[in-house]
């Protein structure tokens, strides 16, 4: 008999707890071992029940979800999925939760909880994904070491270059670790395509900007690709990079995306356009994430003689995206997360 995924549900609403329990129990792979109404109860039940996965509401009385998450990741790390309001006011705490170690989040519909069944498939898929990452989470936390910002002593390259980074599940935390390592005089423009709903990408970009010497912003129509600048593709849109003239700087265009929940922006679309515009002066990086988005895009960069990098399995929350790219035999370097910045700079 297969081993079931043990799930703990934490939410201050009894109705939401019941509805989430009904959804989870509809999957024979998942067993709801307990429920809690605040962070204090959650910490106690994590210790008592040893769940494989925890779903955690952010706003709760007595102890909120962020405080409980931080404690759990320090004392008894395991995969935690946050429940977040799908509104701008929910963006900052959601991004904070991903930096603290939450493996993913589920955005509540605006007419939540009456519409909770609309996110049934997302809940089940993310719980299964999170359960598969438990060994990684347990190993990753408690072993973090301080990293120093890298210094670049090389002159600016004679031609404009671009770095395109694609990430999905696990990406926000991983990017928050490596983007601050790049120096302000990085001789290339950078684009980040992180699967994330649009209401969160601006706050995500602002958090990275606060931590970094690079200038980080959510991309807008017509933004230029410039050295030392990082553009985060807005959720719900795909970015196309193009240049009208040989000597002019490349600009970005944003088009509405039709990806499934969480699977926008398209990494493939951004990388393909970067390859067409920058040719051998493009660098593609595929990081942690589920699925295969980015594999075709990084292959296009390789075909145009650009350089390609993938995050290794040991440091990925989910290895699916890097694996898909590696299996296409179009990746030049497979490196741990902490070596991605120095690899990019060595190529530049």
Terminal-residue alpha carbon distance, the chain: 53
Alpha carbons within 13 angstroms on the beta-carbon side of residue 231 total 28
Catalytic position from the list 84, 97, 133, 168: 168
Catalytic position from the list 11, 12, 57, 293: 293
195 labelled catalytic: yes
The rounded distance, in Å, linking the Cα atoms of 266 and 243 is: 20
Catalytic position from the list 104, 195, 268, 282: 195
Q: Residue 88's Cα: distance from chain center in Å?
A: 18
257 labelled catalytic: no
168 labelled catalytic: yes
Which residues does 1 contact at the CB level (< 8 Å), separation at least 6?
A: none
Which residues are marked as active site? 168, 195, 293
């Amino acid at each position: 008999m297969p081993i079931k995924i043990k799930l703990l549900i934490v939410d201050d609403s009894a109705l939401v707890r019941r509805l989430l329990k009904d959804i989870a129990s509809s999957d024979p792979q998942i067993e709801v071992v307990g429920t809690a109404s605040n962070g204090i109860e959650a910490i106690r039940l994590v210790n008592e029940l040893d769940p494989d996965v925890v779903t955690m509401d952010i706003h709760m009385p007595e102890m909120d979800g962020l405080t409980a998450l931080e404690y759990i990741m320090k004392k008894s790390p395991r995969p935690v999925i946050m429940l977040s309001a799908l509104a701008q006011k929910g963006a900052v705490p959601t991004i904070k939760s991903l930096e603290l170690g939450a493996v993913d989040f589920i955005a509540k519909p605006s007419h939540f909880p009456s519409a909770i069944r609309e996110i049934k498939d997302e809940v089940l898929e993310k719980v299964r994904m999170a359960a598969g990452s438990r060994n990684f989470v347990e190993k990753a936390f408690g072993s973090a070491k301080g990293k120093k910002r890298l210094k670049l002593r090389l002159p600016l390259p004679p031609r404009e270059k671009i770095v395109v980074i694609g990430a999905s599940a696990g990406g926000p935390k991983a990017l928050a670790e490596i983007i601050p390592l790049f120096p302000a005089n990085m001789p290339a423009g950078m684009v980040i395509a992180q699967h994330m709903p649009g209401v969160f990408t601006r706050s995500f970009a602002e958090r990275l900007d606060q931590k970094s010497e690079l200038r980080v912003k959510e991309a807008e129509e017509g933004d230029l690709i410039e050295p030392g600048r990082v553009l985060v593709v807005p959720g719900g849109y795909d970015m196309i990079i193009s240049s009208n003239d040989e000597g002019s700087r490349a600009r970005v265009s944003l088009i509405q995306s039709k990806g499934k929940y969480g699977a926008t922006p398209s990494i493939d679309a951004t990388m393909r356009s970067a390859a067409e515009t920058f040719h051998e002066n493009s660098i593609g990086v595929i990081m942690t994430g589920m699925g295969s988005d980015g594999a075709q895009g990084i292959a296009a960069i390789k075909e145009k003689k650009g350089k390609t990098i993938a995050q290794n399995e040991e440091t990925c929350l989910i290895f699916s995206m890097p694996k898909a790219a590696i299996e296409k035999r179009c990746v030049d370097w497979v490196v741990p997360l902490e070596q991605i910045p120095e690899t990019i700079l060595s190529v530049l």
